[in-house]
Structure formats: structure tokens, C-alpha cells
Chain A
Amino acid sequence: MFFTAVAHAAEPGISVSLSPYVLGYIGVVPITSTLVTAWFSILLLFSFAWLLRRRLALVPGHVQSLVEMGIGGVYDYIAETLGGKKYADRYFPIIFTIFIFILTFNWVGLIPGVGAFGSYDESGSLIPWLYPSATDINMTIGLAIVSFVTIQLAGVIGIGLWKYIGKFINFSSPLGFAIGLIELVSELARLIAFSFRLFGNIFAGKVLLLVVFFFAPYIAPIPIYGYEIFVGLIQAVVFAILTLFFIRVAIEEPH
């Protein structure tokens, strides 16, 4: 809370930007604070995975038990939902990574100090080094594309290319054609729904926290923090679960 106050002391009022903060460029590629946060989250996850892997034992400790319960539980749930371990082996890594990645960068974004440390640009505005990744639409669109491509590939692999295309382009009857078109539009709309749902929730949470910090910096942010931790978890679950269920719909034979 202290660092947040210092950071915002340089700016009059609340400053909110829809576009990500650019820290610099590597060649022509912009390096944003949300991208750095994503890298930091990846580093955290890799470190945790590496440490856990070194200590894996047939008789598990507390941490290993929790991880086993999470991974084993999700794997079984995916196998049950998709109708077999064959599908779980194929899609579990993507679905679970979506969940754990979103959860990690959402929670990393809530660590006090994130968004407070940074450097000032020429206009005197703070450019934070770290910033919640999901407040960057590029991140959520990226994940939405991953999810979208996974769903389409699952459909093609699951029931075959022509049958899958036949779900959307159907000349058997005028009604079938119309339904196919609606399916196609709703399929494409998922890209927008996926990306903007996550972006909107986390961005709104960040704005809410900024507003509360600005008007009532003591005590009041605590329940908001609790709520945002919950929102971070829920959004991760929703993104992963929706991907799973759309995969299930995609691999079902057309009626």
C-alpha cells in the first residue's frame, strides 16, 4: 500500500490506460509491463515445477499431495467430460496450462507493489515494470486464439475435417444452412467473448482497486483484494472450463 501511494503521488488523480504500458523495444517488438509480468509468472511456474519435480516421491509430502490432487483431479474430470483418457492425454496440458497461467498472472497482478514500481517517461507518467497481464487485451486475445485453435483442431481430429466443416456449412435444407451459419458466427464470437470476458473482469478489478486506493487507502481495499483474488480464480476456471466444454461440443458427431 505504501509503494502504491508513492507511485500515484507523482500523478494527479487516477490514471487508467486501456493500452499496455510499453517499457521499451527489442527490434520492432514492444516490450510491455504486462508481457514482463507474464514472463515473471512463467518463471514462477517453471521454478515451482522444477523444484517439485526434483522432490517427487512415491510417498508424497504436503505440497506434492496438493499438486497431485489438482492435476489428478483435473485430469480425471477432463477424461470423464470428453469420454476417455485418450482425450485427456491430448487436451489436459492445454486446458490445465490455460487455468494455471491465468490464475498465476491474475494473482501476481494482485501482489502489493505490482504496478507501483517503475520508471517515469518524458511526461512524468509512471511506466510500471509489472502490471496485471490480463489488463492487456493482447494477452487475452492470445489466449483466446490458443483456445479457439485448440477447439477447432479438436473438432477436426475428433470427427474428421468434412464432418466438422459440415457442422457449419450445411446445404441439406434452408433451415440447416441457417443453423450452420449461426453456429459459424457463434464459433467466431467465442474469440471475442473469451478475450473480452477475461480482459473486462481483470481490468475492471484493477480500476476498482485504484479507485478504492485513491479514496479510502486504509482498510477498504482489503475486502476488494479478497474479492479480486476470487475473481482471478473464477476467471481462470471459467476460461479453462469453457475451453473444455467447447472441445466436447466440437468432438461430438453432428446430429
Chain B
Amino acid sequence: MDQLISAFGIDWQLILLQILNFGLLAAGLTYLLYKPVLRLLRERQERIEQGIKDAAAAEKMKQNAEAEKQSILATAHTEAEAVAARAKTHAEERGQAIVGEAQGKAEQLLQQAAAAGEEIKARSRRESEAEIAKTAILAAEKILQERASS
């Protein structure tokens, strides 16, 4: 056994030193390399997972927004039709009212015009009658003057 140990140069101090070397290397690499790299890999994986979740949520939100848009558009369309219908009805009613009012005013004006015409006509007659009477008086005076002078 001693010969074997001597031939291979087995030395417990060297074995211990190599174990210490390994321990030092394992501790150093864990601190310098393994932990930072594994942390980075986890962070990246979390980010990717979060990104996928966000993308799914965004897609869902987009679909919801699209549905809401369609709903709003449909409501707006219906409301617009109702408003247009109401406006049309109102306009027709208003138009009829205006036309009726105009017709009333026109009739009133016609009546006023007819009354004024009658008034003018009566006044003309009265003036004519006065003129005729005046003319007749003058003619009678003239005749009387001529008879008196002759």
C-alpha cells in the first residue's frame, strides 16, 4: 500500500488543497457567474411571460373596444335615425303651421283689401254724388243767371 501511495505520489495535503481549490472555484463561480446568469434568465423568462400576458390582455381589450365601438355605432345610428325622424316630423308640423298661418294672413289681407275697396268705392260714390250735386247747383245757377239777364 505504501508503495502504491509512493508510486502515485498520493499526499493528503495535496488532496485537501485540491478540495479547497474546488470549493473556492465553486463559490467564486456561483457568485460571479451562475447566480447572475440564472437571475438574468429568470428575469427574461418573467418578462417574456409578462409580455405574452400583456399581449393577450391587449388583444382582449382590443376586441372589447371593437365590440364597444360597434355597440356605440349601432346606438348612435339608431339615435340618429330617431333624431332625423323627429326633425322631419317637427319640420313637417312646423311647415304646416307656417303654411296655415300664411294662409290665414293672406285671407285676412284679402278681407282687409276687400273692405278697403268697398270703403274706397263708397267714398268715391259719395264724392261723385257731391260733385254731381255741386255741378247741378252750378248748372242751375248758370241757367238762372242766364234767364235773369235775358
Contact = CB atoms under 8 A, between A and B. Distances in A.
A38 interface: yes
Interface string B13-57: 111111101111110111011101110110110010000000000
Interface in A136-186: 136-139, 141-143, 145-146
Contacts of A28: 13
A71 B32 contact: no
A217 B15 CA distance: 35
A interface majority secondary structure: helix
Given A19-B9, A93-B34, A49 B29 contact: yes
Contacts of A139: 14, 18
Interface string A12-36: 0000001110000000111010010
Contacts of B40: 56, 58, 68
A96 interface: yes
Contact of A46 (B10, B32, B34, B41): B32
A71 B41 CA distance: 10
B148 interface: no
B41 A72 contact: yes
B29 to A, nearest CB: 6
B32 A49 contact: yes
Contacts of B41: 68, 71-72, 75
Interface size class of A (residues with CB under 8 A): 35 or more
B146 interface: no
A62 interface: no
A101 B43 contact: no
A92 interface: yes
B2 interface: no
A58 B8 contact: no
Contacts of A94: 26
Nearest to A52: B33
A141 B10 contact: yes
Given A49-B28, A50-B32, A71 B14 contact: no
A29 B33 contact: no
A84 B15 CA distance: 33
Contacts of A255: none
A42 interface: yes
Given A58-B43, A68-B41, A136 B26 contact: no
Given A46-B28, A56-B36, A97-B25, A18 B17 contact: no
Contact of A30 (B13, B19, B23): B13
Contacts of B21: 35, 38-39, 42, 142
B1 interface: no
A86 interface: no
Given A56-B40, A72-B38, A75-B38, 8 more contacts: A29-B17, A42-B21, A46-B28, A53-B33, A67-B33, A100-B29, A142-B16, A142-B21
7 contacts: A29-B14, A49-B33, A52-B33, A67-B37, A71-B33, A93-B29, A138-B11
Report, nearest first, the 8 A-B pairs whose CB atoms are least far apart.
A19-B9, A142-B18, A138-B14, A49-B32, A49-B33, A97-B26, A93-B30, A137-B8
Interface of B: 6-11, 13-19, 21-26, 28-30, 32-34, 36-38, 40-41, 43-44, 47
